[in-house]
Structure 1
Amino acid sequence: MNLTLLIMAAGIGSRYGSLKQMDRIGPSGETIMDYSIYDAIRAGFSKVVLIVRKDIEKELRELFSEKLKDKIDLDFALQELSDLPDNFPVPVERKKPWGTGHAIWTARDKITTPFAVINADDFYGYGSFENARDYLRSPEETSGNNYCNIGYKINNTLSQHGFVTRALCDMNKKGYLLKIIERKKIKRIGNDIVYMGTEGQQLLLDKSTIVSMNMWGFTPSIFDHLEFYLRQFIQEKANDPNAEFLIPTVIDSLITSGKARVKVIKSNEKWFGMTYLEDKEEVKKRLVSLIDNKVYPDPLW
């Protein structure tokens, strides 16, 4: 069965201060996306689609087209403010992208197979792509509106350089997602992991808590659901210039309404990313360590 990897590469990276998805952090100038695509190829994915903005499309095409030739099919989906259901007009004050749910929806004409979704600037690890592949190739798992999330232990997802926000997965005994709970200002203090409560107090989090890092497994049926909820979002919030149509919100709505089930598959990989500019050197060190341990070649391609 053919599988597609969909990479959300249209982000702006406001906290980081530059375009993380373009940052060359590998020893031979690789981006984090390079490693994700390499892992996807090894895991058996046959196509990759990059969601991009018009202003960075040319640069990303130049970055990937030649190196991926004969390795994996490559395509691009443009996330544009004007790409809305029913040709809805874009409010004048709207400047920022509509959010991750909208980003995935913009790839609706590019994908006809089961697919995994990832962030461009996050490192997920090869094992996570294996997890996604195994789920997406299982007919009984992907029939109807059954999807998956690749979950990580929160202990494997923190930054040394500041607070992070994480989406905690509340699951039933069979491992199906009940709801996603957002926790803000999470940080490691000594041997503990804490987050800020609603009244500003610090509360403990279990180190084994599973969180979503936006690695999802979907079938093309998700696009109709996204369009349905995108219409609702536009009717209710289009005039709020900062409102975002986010995939976790859509997933929560699908689960609550009984329209879909989402299985949480626990990854043993250690996620890393660049929430803050200071994270960059740590990411470089981790990649060098993985190369030293023969997980990746250098150069990668």
Structure 2
Amino acid sequence: MNQQLPPLPNLVPETAPFTPEQRSWLNGFFAGLVSLDSAGLTPLTPEQNAALMGAPVAKGPLDDGDDGEAPWHDQTIAIADRMKLAEGRSVRRRMMAAMAQQDCGQCGYSCEDYSNKIFLKEEERLNLCVPGGKETARMLKDLHEELDKLPATAKAPAADAAAVPAPLSEIGRSRDNPATATFLSRTRLNKGASEKETWHLDFDLTESGLDYAPGDSFGLYPANDPALVDAVIAALHAPFDYPVTGRTLGEVLSDQVSLSPAPDALFQLFSYVTGGERKLKARALASGEDPDRDAATLDVLAALEKFPGIRLDPEAFVEALDPLQPRVYS
């Protein structure tokens, strides 16, 4: 009685550049090398087969052929010069050039990672670069508008609307999930005649769940001056306890939004509810112009006082303000 042998395992893919006879011989040869019973064999995935045979592999959205060089990554270079150095590069690389190049972490990323997250549509906020300020935010806004004009092959994949939001990171390890620490004391390290002030700060981290070693950065969320908050609320003609996103208006203005400087979005909001010369002036300020040569001095309160008589919905007003950013120290 003849024993029927099992078929040889198919180790060489049919897409390989061999004749059927050559492929059959190679299958037998490789099977003999590992074992005739094919025990322990793990077939290659199509991607592994493609890589092994030198076939093209699908590119990711960040694989745009850029060489990775970043001659603009120098915080001493002005933004206009950084953008010149980035001319001809992809949108995401020009977004990186628009950052302040400090890699300070106040946005929650490095400069390169922040630009990539915006390009991938994993980060919608364009105003997180604290040292870059309005210049960076305006440049990012312009570059972000280019994303919709890119050819389909150059775009990042659209975010899945049904995707489950990413869970919060470990408490105290992200700007989006801060911990609470107790301030103990501060000691001034420099003498009175020094141009800069340097302080040694002590915090009690016992109940925060954090650890800290020399060289680590420590982000602190500030609170706005209560007197300034009261003045802004008075200029809005709104009550302190007006409900905004589950909190009171006073609470949100105290520790959730920045009151200086006045953001472009606030002037844009002014342009929607005014007319005539005031509308034109608000539009000019929103686009970065300085019609009265006072733009550099305008905080949120001064902006409200510059356009008296405007009645804004408190919630729309809050939405037009920038988020209050942490101050990062090391």
Give TM-score scaled by structure 1 length: 0.27
Structure with the largest fraction of strand: 1
Over alpha carbons, which structure has the higher Rg? Answer: 2
